[in-house]
Structure 1
Amino acid sequence: MGDLSHLLRESWTVVEEQQEKLAGYFYARIFLSNPHLRDLFPVQMDAQRSRLLGAIVTAVQTLDDPERLDAYLRDLGRDHRKFEVTPEQYAVVGDALLESLRIFGGERWTPDFDQAWRDAYGLIAQKMIDAAKADDDPAYWIAEVLSHERRGRDIAVLTVLPGQPLEFRAGQYVSVECPAYRPRVWRVYSMANAPRRDRTLEFHVRALSSGWVSGALVRRVRAGDLLRLAAPMGSMTLDRRSTRDIVCVAGSTGLAPIKALLEELTRFNRTRWVHVFFGAGTREDLYDLPELRAIAAQHPWVSLVPACSRDASFDGEHGNVSEIVGRYGPWNDHDFYVAGSAGMVQATLRTLAALEVPPSRIRYDAFGQ
């Protein structure tokens, strides 16, 4: 596996600078040879191209970690059931991917590179197919929006109820589709709660300028609307075997999975201190601060540090939360949970690396990576 991983990484450097063109060619190749597959994809393909490349790079980078790779591909295979993908279509995708790599690799693309990608894709596809076959859950869940609360200009908190039981762990996320407003466009959002007896799920959504689904969820969706939810994914879950104290670092609506972990901890924790750093641009963006303060007041093992990076009048820490966590500590023997934008997660990981926090003690899911 080491030789295969080395070949994949080396070959990716040959095409990496042309990855956007490669992805465009890849999809064009699929749709020209199999026009009926176009209906599986959204009208606008920009984000879809990014997700393809993200999945490829993630798989390539985890080949040396079989346990992590298996978990990632198992989740991905289950998640792709929402598209009603058949095993035959995996072969179509594989052929298009290999042809695209050859085209953009040009003279630098070697037979060894070609065979490495053929072997890797065969492994990846089979694991995803097997995971989908073994999954007895629905391909997706229909969920009714029970409540929709605006928290400022571009943030909303939604409570939804799936029509069938949806099993997940605190800290995980699901793909969400708004069929009435953005059909065939899926985006991932973390649940902001641990599993509850009433089966409700809470989502925290920030409308982004380029976010079709986030904009619909914040500005158009109302109570009574229906959403589709795909299979739960993600590994940022609580390690109950650990006895170490915990540090949670959340940026904006990255608070959602952190809040879910807090809810789980309130049900059993008596011995672990939990330090929560919650950062955003302005005071308004700290949309859930009152509830966090209520949790900290009720549970003395929770300490809360809110921060603003662009609000000089805020009565608290000032600066990026990724830097502020470094002002506290020491963190020599803590478990870390980090959630936010890809940039915020990367910045926090750099801070923790400078503090010599072992990577094995850090859990995160960076959707933009």
Structure 2
Amino acid sequence: MSAQHALWHPFADMGAVDGDRMVITRGEGSYVWDDAGRRYFDATASLWYANFGHGRPEITEAVTKQLQKLDSYNLFGYNANEPAIELADRVAALAPTPGSKVFFGSGGGDVIDTAVKLARAYFAQTGRPEKTHVIGRTQGYHGTHGFGTAVGGIPANAAGVGPQPPEFSHVPFDSAPALEAEIARVGASRVAAFFCEPVIGAGGVLLPPDGYLEEVAAICRRHDVLFVADCVIAAWGRLGTWFGIDRWAVEPDMITTAKGITGGTIPLGALVVAPRVAEPFFTGAPGAPIFRHGATYAGHPVACAAGLATLDIYERDGLIPRGRELEKPLADAVSAAAGHELVAEVRAGLGFVAAVELTAEVMDADPGAPVKLQRACRDEGVIVRNLGRGVAVSPPLIAGEPELDLLASALPKALDRLAAQA
């Protein structure tokens, strides 16, 4: 084994990466620069999260002021800090269900695991401890923590790391009847929660069928199963609303969110908990239950200060609706790839996110084709994200016509490059 550096990248073939890193050194607006000085359109908003782009002085100022005042302190027990209190109140005020509570974590993976544990703890505290089973969806992605890996529906992410917890199962991502059938198979008396991304992100940018989200929410309510909306990617304007799920007329029992809550500037996650789920833990009665869970850096004052500045930016600059306003221009831009011989499908039109899927013939001939397409786009000055069968884009909400024109030009050229390598 040889390596130039000690850094081990997530989700990476390190034998291929080592010696071929793209080292990002600077970011400004919708663009980033590498260590050779080349500029790229950051068409993935880094990892679905740089929703207002890069280099915002407001974040720098807020973080600096907070570091000078209180650099860190935990939230355990009676402890609190002002930014955490204020951010929780502001996030709760935006939630679909009035009176919601907010439990902070260090990121999306943290709050997914928190949601699984809290769902089970809620039923235990309301006299139904047997309700522990959790249902996810095929192609769903819910992070890489223990429970998140189990509830996720991407088999490759759970391969080679030993057995997963037994009380998890999956249903087809686009079938509400399949969810009802699975609840019946397991037994409603045993099912605690159903996890659902409004738009599946890392699993392929898969859009929900018309009426799907309303139907699964009704099924969950009918069988007393908690509906957990995973909005780690979908929130903070990505789908044109504050949380993404609030684009539909549903009220989840819990909403997981992270990424855009600070624009990715500092790691922070937040679990938004509807009043009925939080109530058993907020009675104030002697001997009331304690939710014995929490991350060391939950509600970190510096992260929360960044979150407060982020919400200010979204509100002041009117960025939240842009996820909806820009969905057609983005769909038009990626449609430039639709007729290419290597392309099976282009998915777009719901929020500021899209995907280009390669044909089965391309994937059978070369399973590494998405990575090669990603690299070919990079050669054209655009950063895209490789997925299992293609590439995805999720640009910053500040991107405009010049950036989308660049994307529309780069995708066909990159596909031609890929075809030439076959």
Higher relative contact order (CA 8 A, sep 6+): 2
User: What is the TM-score when the length of structure 2 is the normalising length?
Assistant: 0.22
Greater fraction helix: 1
